[in-house]
Amino acid sequence: MDTLSNKAFTLAANSGGVGLALTRLGLVIVLVWIGALKIYKYEADGIVPFVANSPAMSFFYKHPAPDYAKHMNAEGAVVPANRAWHEANHTYPFALGLGVVIVLYGIMIAVHPWLPQVSAAGSALVVVMSLVTLSFLVTTPESWVPNLGGSEHGFPLLSGRGRLVVKDFIMLGAAWVTMADSAARYLRKRAR
């Protein structure tokens, strides 16, 4: 049994390259997919509470928080009056611009085999993006279960939006790992 366990641990210990490749691929897929979704209005509507409540981003919108609360569409719902409000709020152009930036970060990370310095920069930008996203846990009231009369609400009880945001701790770590790997590859390439 000891030999089998040693073989399994040896195999696991030697699989770091696979894990790193999967981490990089996962970042690229998530960034390109989520960024591309920003062209859809339901996705743009969904990020409004984060942007409107963020001291670093709220200036992109015309209307201050919490005005958006009356104009939120459920995912997949189309309420023409709410869509008109979001048009006036600049919700859709902002989301489109953000989507382009997020897709660009994914592409930058994807060029690691050819341009590791570009990939390192893309990963560094995702580190910054993840920190901004994680700040939404502090700035966005909708990150926590609201007080609707029950005893289970507020910190540390994450709402659906909060659970979405807290996953950026994984993005932060993955981007840091790929940044370090791409930077190391670039330095090795320059040293030759």
pLDDT digits (tens, 9 = 90+) for 63-118: 999 999 999 999 999 999 999 999 999 999 999 999 999 999 999 999 999 999 99
Give the C-alpha distances (Å, rounded to integers) separating 1 from 7, 9, 11, 41.
Answer: 10, 12, 15, 56
pLDDT of amino acid 1: 62
Contact between 157 and 150 under an 8 Å Cβ cutoff? The reply is no
pLDDT the model gives residue 2: 80
Q: What is the pLDDT of residue 97?
A: 98
Determine contact, residues 72/87, Cβ cutoff 8 Å: no
What's the whole-model pTM score? 0.94
pLDDT for 61 equals 98
Give residue 4's pLDDT: 84
pLDDT in tens, 147-191: 999 999 999 999 999 999 999 999 999 999 999 999 999 999 999
Say what percent of the chain tops pLDDT 70: 99
Average pLDDT along the chain: 96
Nearest to 129 by CA among 70, 94, 97, 169: 169
Provide the sign of the torsion angle of the four alpha carbons 50, 52, 58, 59, taken in this order: positive
pLDDT tens digits, 17-56: 999 999 999 999 999 999 999 999 999 999 999 999 999 9
Domain range list for the chain: 30-145+153-191
What confidence score (pLDDT) does residue 108 get?
98
